[in-house]
Chain A
Amino acid sequence: MKRGAIMQLPAYYEFCNTVKTIVGHKALEQIPQSLKVINAQRPMIITDKGVEQAGLIKIVQAAMQKSKLKAAAIYDTVPPDSEIKMVNELAKMYTSKKCDSIIAVGGGSVLDTAKGVNIIVSENASDLMQFAGYGNVKRKLKPLVAVPTTAGTGSEVTSVAVIANHEKNIKMIFGSAFLLPDIAIIDSRMTKTLPPTITAFTGMDALTHAVEAYFCLAKNPLSDTTALAAIQIIAQNLVNVVKKPSDTDGRLALALASNLAGMAFANSMVGMIHNIGHAVGGVCGVPHGVCMNILLPYGLEYNMHKASQYIGELLYPLAGDEVYNATKKKERPQKTVEYIRNLIQDLHDATDGKHPRFFKEVVDKTGKQMVPKEKLVDIAKTAMSDPAQFYNPEDLDYNDYMMVLEAAWEGTPLDKKKIKKG
């Protein structure tokens, strides 16, 4: 009897997810009970202006007031990229208002900011920098409830926070199992007002998490299951939700996919797509999801010779069984890349061209190009200092970074002859 490809199991792996996850159309109504369980009585709400103006904080407060619970402090001006100085200031606010827990309502930067604040207030430290790196947070932190308002970062189930250090022009990574929030509440009302362009690139961010978790070096059977589920849900819902933003079932599905992808990459890490994306974000200020969206097909192409089996397997959750079965095994990896390029094009069309396909299309609010070509050198140099490269199947040197960046800037596929193979 033919049994198909044998699943290769790694000799050793680790998986940890201690977050209680509550998912539903009105899941936030559970917040008073959830806060009671973790003994949180004076929570500090951390959010950003966009979330506050969209009226989402009112939904959270209304749910809290049912048990006469009030926030001891609200900070609603977290910038799009969480920043180390602001984290230090927010920690002072937490202490002065005698808060005992944190509710983070927002996207990746808000959740990462909240994690940064939680490190300082729990460790009684004055500066976050001393905890940079992996494993430097060594004790249980204050209660943290994460309420994601984008369906992309998966920060509500990750043990990592990425916080910018503008003085050094880099993004610092903080990693520890203690950074995992206590509770994640996924409520479709929180992502309902997300504009189509943000829905598109945050969805691609989640897809990148799942894809890199599946083909990079730390993949394992446990993270594979959540990664594959996330990819399937995103492939089935992302374009539909971008075209019809009021689709609450689709919204909830995407938020769940982001959560699953977060669970996957928190345990099997990410590779060169995030490595380069962090550098583009650090040097040019491009939103993380936009970078992921542009770099995803390039990361797959670059690693094709090392991870073709896994990349080929991704065609199944992406395109469905009919396409998968109709495609010859050796053609599946390339077909996966084509499928993702088509998905990016579909999102570009569905947003009237606002969803960028390559770096030269990325502009700020004033229409100014955010990634000038002359910045690629700085980006490549910065990328060399990012540890996500460790988990990438193929090695990268400065010239490799430049090759990928130039192709991703122009929007041309990688020249496979130029990819160095050991």
Chain B
Amino acid sequence: MNILYYPQVKPKKKLIKRIYIAIMLWIVGRAIQAASKVDSDVKDEFAKLNNNFCLKMWIWPNGPAMYVGKTNNGRVKYLGWKDKGYKPTLTMTIKNIEAAMLLFTFRESTAIATARNRLVVDGDLPDACAFVRILNIVEVYLLPKIIAKLAVKRYPKWSQMAPSRKHFGRIVIYVRAFTF
């Protein structure tokens, strides 16, 4: 067989999965921005980060991506999915789209994904620790308990997060994420 005439097989682009991940990143990004105004723990975590904090969470090699950053006045903002010349201080790279699907369909928690080396973190590790805590809180707000329990290591009990705080926060975060 002449290999010069061997047909080149182009990999499929997994378009549906990419669209799903892009939507999830958009929701999570918007929800982080909303939670930073609603939840005191998220506020505190962001307050400890530098004002130049900029997170890029993306799927290697071509995205999709999510940028979340702090503005000069300390406000937290979802910056979108396009690279507009941001300088991320923390980059969380998910190694492939299948790993991202496991994470965003909650078949693998953030902790298990980290343990299985599906994420590469580039930047200050204390910032990464803070961001994972923020992500956990946001997931508790966004997801029903039965799913959130798969996504976080320890689902907060009543004593840690009162139902009134959780349900009120959930409504406000959803409204803010999808409207403002």
Q: Which residues of A contact B (CB under 8 A)?
A: 10-14, 132-136, 170, 172-173, 216-218, 269, 384-387, 389-391, 393-395, 420-422
**Nearest chain A residue, comparing its CB with the CB of B149:** A422
Do B129 and A387 have beta carbons less than 8 Å apart?
yes
**Nearest chain B residue, comparing its CB with the CB of A134:** B121
Q: How many residues of B contact A (CB 8 A)?
A: 27
Do B114 and A391 have beta carbons less than 8 Å apart?
yes
19 contacts between A and B (CB under 8 A): A12-B118, A132-B125, A133-B122, A133-B125, A216-B115, A217-B112, A385-B130, A386-B125, A386-B126, A387-B121, A387-B128, A387-B129, A389-B129, A390-B111, A393-B153, A394-B153, A395-B136, A395-B153, A395-B154
Which of B111, B128, B136: most chain A Cβ within 10 A?
Answer: B111
Q: Of residues 76 to 132 in B, which have CB atoms within 8 Å of A's CB atoms?
A: 111-112, 114-118, 120-126, 128-130, 132
In Å, the complex CA distance between A218 and B136 comes to 19
In Å, the complex CA distance between A136 and B93 comes to 13
B160 contacts the other chain (Cβ, under 8 Å)? yes
Q: Which residues of B contact A (CB under 8 A)?
A: 111-112, 114-118, 120-126, 128-130, 132, 136, 149, 152-157, 160
Inter-chain contacts of B156 with A (CB < 8 A): 422
Inter-chain contacts of A420 with B (CB < 8 A): 154, 157, 160
Do B122 and A136 have beta carbons less than 8 Å apart?
yes
Q: How far is the CB of B50 from chain A (nearest CB, A)?
A: 13
Which 5 residue pairs of A and B lie closest in terms of their CB atoms, listed nearest first? A385-B126, A422-B154, A218-B115, A217-B115, A395-B154
Do B129 and A386 have beta carbons less than 8 Å apart?
yes
User: Quick one: given A170-B126, A422-B149, are A390 and B154 in contact (CB under 8 Å)?
Assistant: no
In Å, the complex CA distance between A422 and B157 comes to 7
Which of A11, A13, A385, A390: most chain B Cβ within 10 A?
Answer: A390
Tell me which of A136, A391, A395 contacts B152 (CB under 8 A).
A395
Inter-chain contacts of B122 with A (CB < 8 A): 133, 135-136
Inter-chain contacts of A394 with B (CB < 8 A): 153-154
In Å, the complex CA distance between A14 and B128 comes to 22
In Å, the complex CA distance between A391 and B115 comes to 6
Do A422 and B129 have beta carbons less than 8 Å apart?
no
In Å, the complex CA distance between A12 and B116 comes to 6
Inter-chain contacts of B115 with A (CB < 8 A): 216-218, 269, 390-391
Do B132 and A134 have beta carbons less than 8 Å apart?
no
**Nearest chain A residue, comparing its CB with the CB of B107:** A11
Q: How far is the CB of B44 from chain A (nearest CB, A)?
A: 10
Q: How far is the CB of A167 from chain B (nearest CB, A)?
A: 14
* Other A-B pairs, 8, CB within 8 Å; known A12-B116, A135-B122, A391-B111: A14-B116, A133-B124, A134-B120, A135-B121, A395-B136, A420-B154, A420-B160, A422-B155
Q: How far is the CB of A271 from chain B (nearest CB, A)?
A: 10
In Å, the complex CA distance between A12 and B121 comes to 19
Inter-chain contacts of B124 with A (CB < 8 A): 132-133
Inter-chain contacts of B121 with A (CB < 8 A): 133-135, 387
Inter-chain contacts of B120 with A (CB < 8 A): 134-135
In Å, the complex CA distance between A136 and B117 comes to 14
In Å, the complex CA distance between A295 and B153 comes to 21
Q: How far is the CB of A304 from chain B (nearest CB, A)?
A: 14
In Å, the complex CA distance between A389 and B149 comes to 18
Do B116 and A422 have beta carbons less than 8 Å apart?
no
Q: How far is the CB of A295 from chain B (nearest CB, A)?
A: 19
Do A173 and B154 have beta carbons less than 8 Å apart?
no
